[in-house]
Amino acid sequence: MSGYILSVDQGTTSSRAILFTAEGRVHKVAQEEFTQHFPNDGWVEHNPADLWDTVLRTARQVLKDAQISATELVAIGITNQRETTLVWDKQTGEPVYNAIVWQDRRTAEYCRQLSDQGHGDSVQAKTGLLLDPYFSATKLRWILEEVPGARARAEAGELAFGTVDSYLLWKLTGGKVHRTDATNASRTMIFNIHTQEWDTELLELLDIPAGMLPEVMDSAADFGVADAELLGAEVPVLGIAGDQQAALFGQTCYQAGMAKSTYGTGCFLMLNTGEKALKSENRLLTTVAYRLNGKTTYALEGSIFVAGAAVQWLRDGLQLIQGAGETEPLAEQTPLDHGVFLVPAFTGLGAPYWDPDARGAIFGLTRDTGIKEIVTAGLQSVCYQTKDLQKAMESDGVRPTTLRVDGGMVANNWVLNFLADILGANVDRPEIIETTALGAAYLAGLQAGVFTSLEQLADMWHCDKRFEPTMDKARRDGFYAGWKDAVRRVQSGQ
């Protein structure tokens, strides 16, 4: 089949539009960053107009750069930053408040109250998630409680809630469609991953009107049609998945036991557990990997809030570097045992600690410490955090022996060498590292009939480079012990 699939990848710091060919190859890319808003300590917001405008502009730009018309698009796939929460007017489409970003910790105290009341176990049993401000539900409740008139309007049926995918779909279809997919729904903390329905008891607990919620679809489905005036022709939206699930899908981890780790703003290690929703005893999340033809595949996930964002902070906050490309040569000049540990707990610690009140720190500074040691410690922190997740998965009885990696940071060979060493596992980088956008394209392509089966997609995955561990266990354990000590010192209870 000829034609292209347009993948919309709406991320935490930028929006991208990527054109894929019917063979699953990247044809053209357009990208645009947007402003982050930090109104209070631990608060993170986006202007919804920035999300929509950058998506529309990059989609138009990529078509222009490729010199193709929207009539040559077979389908649109959407992948998005997950948990980020929007509420808008069903008639006008006007948001009632900024998008509250997944990194935002403003509802930490409310989550603690729910936990103290004994709701943690039932939340985990139903949703696979831990009671944490990371997820959408308490952000949504905050908007209903704190934005004047929002609760009354929601109860009157005037307001819609959605994660970013829902909001983009609403805008693309001119307000005709209010839907999401099972992967995004599974990150809201109000969706029962076993029954695959919004959970009435949790809605009652959090006082969220059910009329605000989107319809939940398979990840490959007929979501709606983008209005002709937006891109120049009507185009069906046929695939949606949250960014980490899309990356798992793009990495073709379709067999139970296969795992991927994505290094974007945060880092997310996801392991396919097949038809079984495996309950973690080590504070990992149980989540929907994807849902196809009504059949749910589950995953175990560890979420790290700061990965690439640490490099961004070294660039913008400390101004130690001018670009991420400088980090690799700096690390190569630095001995591994430089003694500095950077714990990037800028918005708390994610898995397996789940400490929203932890804050970042740098330990081990001496008079000899310079830019290259601090930058290297920042890169190593991402690898150490991945090791934390690997250890938690091992304790839950599953150990990924090979890790497929993707995201912006995996262009850095030094990082992947150190990652293989600290994990004691093989790390595989695919030929196409745009796997998040690729996963959305694969889902849309499956629904469109461009791709015929998961087996066909799995055959399309090719390894660019395998990184194998060379560090001995004693040295690895020594480095990791130093990291654990540093983490202990930033935890809020210490």
In a domain, 456, yes or no: no
Residues 121 and 204 in one domain: yes
pLDDT of residue 397: 85
Model confidence pLDDT, tens digit, residues 404-416: 999 888 999 999 9
Residues 236 and 290 in one domain: no
- Is 442 exposed, middle or buried (CB count within 10 Å of its CB: 0-12, 13-18, 19+)? buried
In a domain, 49, yes or no: yes
Residues 237 and 256 in one domain: no
In a domain, 442, yes or no: no
Which pLDDT band holds residue 493 (cuts at 50, 70, 90)? low
pLDDT of residue 494: 64
Give the residue among 318, 317, 331 at the shortest CA–CA distance from 409: 331
Of the chain, the percentage scoring pLDDT greater than 90 comes to 82
CATH number of the domain where residue 355 is located: 3.30.420.40
pLDDT of residue 432: 87
Residues 375 and 410 in one domain: yes
What is the extent of the structural domain holding 31? Answer: 4-244
Give the residue among 84, 149, 145, 148 at the shortest CA–CA distance from 110: 145
Residues 237 and 269 in one domain: no
Residue type at 5?
I
In a domain, 102, yes or no: yes
Q: Does 484 have pLDDT greater than 90?
A: yes
Cα radius of gyration rounded to whole Å, the chain: 21
Across the range 34-61, mean pLDDT stands at 95
Residues 198 and 326 in one domain: no
Q: Does 427 have pLDDT greater than 90?
A: yes
Last residue of a domain, one of 208, 227, 244: 244
Last residue of a domain, one of 178, 211, 244: 244
Number of domains in the chain: 2
Model confidence pLDDT, tens digit, residues 56-99: 999 999 999 999 999 999 999 999 999 999 999 999 999 999 99
Across the range 459-476, mean pLDDT stands at 94
Across the range 312-336, mean pLDDT stands at 91
Model confidence pLDDT, tens digit, residues 152-165: 999 999 999 999 99
76-86 exposure pattern, b = at least 16 Cβ within 10 A, e = fewer = bbbbbbbbbbb
Model confidence pLDDT, tens digit, residues 27-36: 999 999 999 9
Last residue of a domain, one of 227, 244, 261: 244
pLDDT of residue 408: 84
**CA-CA distance, 128 to 113, in Å (whole number)?**
19
Residues 14 and 36 in one domain: yes
pLDDT of residue 407: 85
In a domain, 36, yes or no: yes
Structure tokens at 223: 């979501």
Mean pLDDT in the chain?
93
Residues 285 and 415 in one domain: yes
Which pLDDT band holds residue 171 (cuts at 50, 70, 90)? very high
Q: Does 356 have pLDDT greater than 90?
A: no
* Helix orientation angle between 108-116 and 120-127, rounded to the nearest 10 degrees: 100
Residues 224 and 292 in one domain: no
Tokens 């490309």 belong to: 325
Residues 262 and 322 in one domain: yes
Model confidence pLDDT, tens digit, residues 367-394: 999 999 999 999 999 999 999 999 999 8
pLDDT of residue 355: 87
Which pLDDT band holds residue 1 (cuts at 50, 70, 90)? low
Model confidence pLDDT, tens digit, residues 109-133: 999 999 999 999 999 999 999 998 9
Do 360 and 381 contact (CB within 8 A), yes or no? no
pLDDT of residue 251: 95
pLDDT of residue 42: 85
Q: How far is CA 4 from CA 74, 251, 385, 441, in A?
A: 6, 20, 37, 9
Q: Does 458 have pLDDT greater than 70?
A: yes
In a domain, 83, yes or no: yes
Q: Does 354 have pLDDT greater than 90?
A: no
In a domain, 195, yes or no: yes
In a domain, 193, yes or no: yes
Residues 311 and 182 in one domain: no
Residues 218 and 272 in one domain: no
Model confidence pLDDT, tens digit, residues 244-298: 999 999 999 999 889 999 898 888 899 999 998 988 888 899 999 999 999 999 9
